[in-house]
Structure 1
Amino acid sequence: MTTDAPRTGQADRDSGASVLLGAGGAALLLGLAATVVGALVSGSEAALGALVGTLLVVGVLGFGSFVVNVVAGLMPAAALMVAMLTYTLQVVLMGLVFAILSGSGLLDSTVDRGWLAGVVIGGTAIWLVSQVVLTTRRRIPVYELPSQVTTQPAQGGER
């Protein structure tokens, strides 16, 4: 059979944590691999840049996805508004972190600017692709039809 059993209640619904963990894990693996490659190819500055980029991607995108997931579970009608606001705040936060790092002089001496930017771009791309793939594999219906109610004929032969 190719049909799934119908969902029977809120307890059967997946919380979305599997998508969050999967996307975060993919970005983390990419970042850790980039950290090792950066250390081998360009030294400790590149490794630190890749590590900072990894922490930035996993922290900012993970927190944003967590907030949207919680709001979608509590108030589904507000989920789109919160998702748009969260996305805007994530972009602002990333820009703010880059401005702080640049202003502090760390990007010129301790942290490799190229490796940091590369891991942030690559990690974000991996996060988005894995989140889309994992979400579509969950096969959650947009809405559920109400269960069909069968009416019993009344006693005494009335129809």
Structure 2
Amino acid sequence: MKTTETRTSAAVTRAAVAALAVGLGLVALGGVVSGSTAAYGALVGTAISVGVFAFGAFAVDAVSRLMPAASLLFAMVTYTFQVLLMALAFVALNRSGLLDDGLSRNWLGGAIIAGAFVWIAVQIRLSTTARIPAFQGPSEGGAR
């Protein structure tokens, strides 16, 4: 692999690890500050956040490798699906009664928001510092 080639899956993995690390930090903080319901809420929020973002990022990455022309359309459809999936997760948690008894709503929401911000920040950092070639030279398979 050349230094100009990028590995999107590695960037997604780094973003997932960073969001997971921040989420687990919130689980520990919630457990110390507010008890087990806060820790469980932060844990579920971290799982939802990392799961939804990882699913979308890996799916868009796979489609962009197979059909680059369809990647923008698929990214928009995936984003819509992620929003619906997040809403369904909240509805399911609300109807199950877990948000009233076993999980702290505030810590769950905070973990999702923190996971989203960390994920986006890592993705932006890795995307803006990636070395992506603007053109192919003659020795790389271009016209001679």
Q: Which runs of 5+ in 2 are unaligned?
A: none
Q: Is 1:103 paired with 2:106?
A: no
Amino acid at match of 1:145: Q
Shift of 1:137: 1.4
| Alignment correspondent of 1:136 | 128
| Alignment correspondent of 1:48 | 40
Check whether the contact 2:20–2:46 (CA below 8 A) recurs between aligned residues.
Answer: yes
Q: Which runs of 5+ in 1 are unaligned?
A: 8-12, 151-159
| Alignment correspondent of 1:85 | 77
Match of 2:114 among 122, 137, 144: 122
Deviations 1:64-109 (A, max 9, x none): 1000001111111011011111111001100110011011110000
Match of 2:23 among 14, 19, 31: 31
Amino acid at match of 2:40: L
The change in CA–CA distance for 1:96 and 1:130 in structure 2 (over 3 A counts) is same
Give 3-state SS (helix, strand or coil) of 2:136's partner.
coil
The share of aligned pairs that are identical, in percent, is 45
Q: Which is bigger in relative contact order (C-alpha 8 A, separation at least 6)?
A: 2
**Alignment length, in residue pairs?**
140
| Alignment correspondent of 1:145 | 136
* Structure with max Cα Rg: 1
| Alignment correspondent of 1:112 | 104
TM-score, normalization: structure 2? 0.91
| Alignment correspondent of 1:59 | 51
TM-score, normalization: structure 1? 0.82
Match of 2:7 among 2, 6, 15: 15
2-structure distance, mates of 1:6, 1:63: 27
**Cα RMSD after superposing both structures:** 1.7
Higher helix share: 2
1-structure distance, mates of 2:16, 2:50: 6
